């Protein structure tokens, strides 16, 4: 791989979305990442407020025992570190909506926070410092904000690595010990104490990571089931009407921006009520589910690798279905030939689906954006009128909106 290709691949992996014409899935992923970055910023402001409150109270208490000159000397570097956190968090706060397409921005922010806390630990007594507790907050933050469970373990490991660097750096004389009030001066030189203290904190970090990943994993599964139940039709396994409408509105915005067409199809099963009367509702439901699966297979076989992501089919209601065709079978913008090909494949799929040797045909109405309407409502109305004409003409046919 040459250098330019390597650089391009590296830049692509660093961004949430890099395609010239991002799909609605790219846009949703980008929006989710921006929201996570914003959440990191809010959490950091809360931690800064916590540190500021603690420092003010601590100074007030220590001032009764120590002169202000000694307190100021001890607090100088930690105060600079906190001021630095405030500075870069302010920058992120002002720019994160523009920087939100950087995939690893949250990771970088959290790892940077870990380093800053390492500085606070060193300048507040090293092995005697209480600031290590902030690492637990970062691990919790990582579990709730970062997208992958392994990310939480990466943050926990980096916390342990930074904490160990301070403790063992002082133990082996690489870092000079910083004396703070009310601390045992010789503990940082005691190998047994430093090792046991470090191993205990590593255990605490690992335990926190384990607990929160288990909890968030369980919550993620539960939320996925709830979300799936909200957008998936129980009887057919297709998308619900509400999800289809959201996708259609999103794709219309993309089509307007990129000056490209899209197609909407409404499908009705011919004489489905008669099938139910002859064979019963249970077999009718079975036929409905089988036709839905056949429709999915027909749509996915259109020929483009993109169709699985951007062309969707949903249950519109009763025995009606809706199809959104926003990518052509060759991967580019859809054309009239693509719509006709997909419509023919859907009709063939329905006609070839039998239950107990019986089945039904379907009628289709097609509307194109922007030719037949500039909005979701106008497109659906045009497709519905075309479907009505197809049914009135005897069914088992396709009509294009006029």
> What pLDDT does residue 168 have?
93
In this predicted structure, which of 158-167, 178-187, 235-244, 368-377 has the lowest mean pLDDT?
A: 178-187
> What pLDDT does residue 34 have?
77
More confident of the two residues 225 and 38: 38
pLDDT band at 82 (very low <50, low <70, confident <90, very high): confident
Residue 307 pLDDT exceeds 50: no
Residue 16 pLDDT exceeds 80: no
Q: Is 27 exposed, middle or buried (0-12, 13-18, 19+ CB in 10 A)?
A: middle
More confident of the two residues 68 and 162: 162
> What pLDDT does residue 339 have?
92
pLDDT band at 44 (very low <50, low <70, confident <90, very high): confident
> What pLDDT does residue 327 have?
87
pLDDT band at 289 (very low <50, low <70, confident <90, very high): very high
> What pLDDT does residue 308 have?
47
Give the DSSP letter string of 2-33: -HHHHHHHHHHHHBS---SS--HHHHHHHHHH
Mean pLDDT of the chain: 82
> What pLDDT does residue 305 have?
43
Boundaries of every domain in the chain:
3-231, 241-400
**Quick one: tokens of 248?**
């259609």
Residue 19 pLDDT exceeds 60: no
Residue 84 pLDDT exceeds 60: yes
Residue 45 pLDDT exceeds 70: yes
Beta bridge partners of 398: 364
Max mean pLDDT range (128-132, 186-190, 323-327): 323-327
pLDDT tens for each residue of 315-332: 998 899 999 999 888 778
Nearest to 98 by CA among 148, 21, 144, 33: 33
> What pLDDT does residue 269 have?
94
Sequence-ordered list of residues with C-beta below 8 angstroms from that of 156, at least 6 positions apart, any chain: 139, 142, 205, 206, 208, 209
Q: What is the pTM of this model?
A: 0.53
Residue 3 pLDDT exceeds 70: no
Integer CA distances (angstroms), 273 to 88, 280, 314, 322, in order: 65, 10, 20, 19
Give the CATH fold of the 241-400 domain: Alpha-Beta Plaits (3.30.70)
More confident of the two residues 37 and 193: 37
Residue 77 pLDDT exceeds 60: yes
> What pLDDT does residue 191 have?
81
The most distant pair of C-alpha atoms in the chain lies apart, rounded to whole Å, by: 97
pLDDT tens for each residue of 340-382: 999 999 999 999 999 988 999 999 999 999 999 999 999 999 9
Can you tell me the mean pLDDT for 207-214? Answer: 72
pLDDT band at 35 (very low <50, low <70, confident <90, very high): confident
């Amino acid at each position: 791989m040459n250098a330019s290709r390597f650089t391009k691949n590296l830049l692509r992996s660093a961004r949430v979305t890099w395609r010239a014409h991002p799909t609605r899935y790219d846009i949703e992923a980008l929006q989710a990442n921006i929201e996570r970055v914003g959440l990191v910023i809010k959490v950091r402001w809360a931690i800064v407020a916590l540190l500021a409150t603690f420092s003010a109270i601590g100074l007030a208490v220590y001032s009764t025992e120590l002169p202000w000159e000694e307190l100021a000397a001890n607090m100088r570097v930690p105060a600079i570190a906190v001021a630095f956190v405030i500075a870069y968090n302010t920058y992120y706060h002002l720019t994160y909506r523009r920087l939100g397409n950087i995939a690893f921005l949250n990771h970088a922010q959290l790892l940077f926070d870990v380093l800053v806390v390492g500085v606070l630990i060193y300048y507040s007594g090293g092995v005697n410092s209480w600031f290590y507790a902030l690492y637990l907050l970062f691990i919790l933050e990582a579990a709730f904000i970062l997208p992958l469970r392994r990310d939480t373990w990466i943050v926990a490991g980096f916390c342990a690595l930074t904490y160990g660097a301070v403790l063992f750096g002082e133990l082996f004389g690489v870092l000079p010990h910083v004396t703070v009030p009310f601390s045992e001066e010789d503990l940082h030189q005691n190998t047994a104490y430093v090792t046991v203290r470090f191993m205990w904190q590593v255990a605490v970090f690992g335990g926190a990571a384990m607990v929160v990943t288990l909890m968030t994993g369980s919550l993620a599964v539960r939320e996925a089931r709830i979300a799936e139940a909200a957008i998936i039709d129980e009887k057919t396994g297709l998308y619900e009407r509400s999800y289809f409408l959201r996708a259609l509105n999103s794709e219309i915005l993309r089509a307007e921006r990129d000056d490209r067409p899209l197609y909407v199809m409404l499908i009705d099963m011919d004489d489905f009520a008669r099938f139910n009367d002859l064979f019963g509702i249970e077999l009718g439901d079975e036929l409905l589910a089988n036709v839905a699966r056949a429709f999915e297979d027909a749509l996915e076989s259109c020929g483009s690798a993109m169709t699985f992501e951007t062309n969707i089919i949903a249950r519109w209601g009763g025995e009606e279905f809706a199809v959104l065709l926003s990518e052509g079978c060759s991967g580019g913008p859809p054309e009239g030939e693509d719509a006709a090909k997909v419509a023919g494949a859907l009709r063939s799929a329905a006609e070839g689906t039998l239950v107990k040797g019986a089945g039904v045909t379907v009628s289709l109405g097609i509307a194109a954006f922007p030719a037949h309407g500039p909005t979701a409502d106008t497109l659906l109305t045009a497709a519905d009128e075309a479907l009505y004409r197809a049914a009135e003409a005897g069914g088992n046919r396709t009509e294009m909106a006029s």
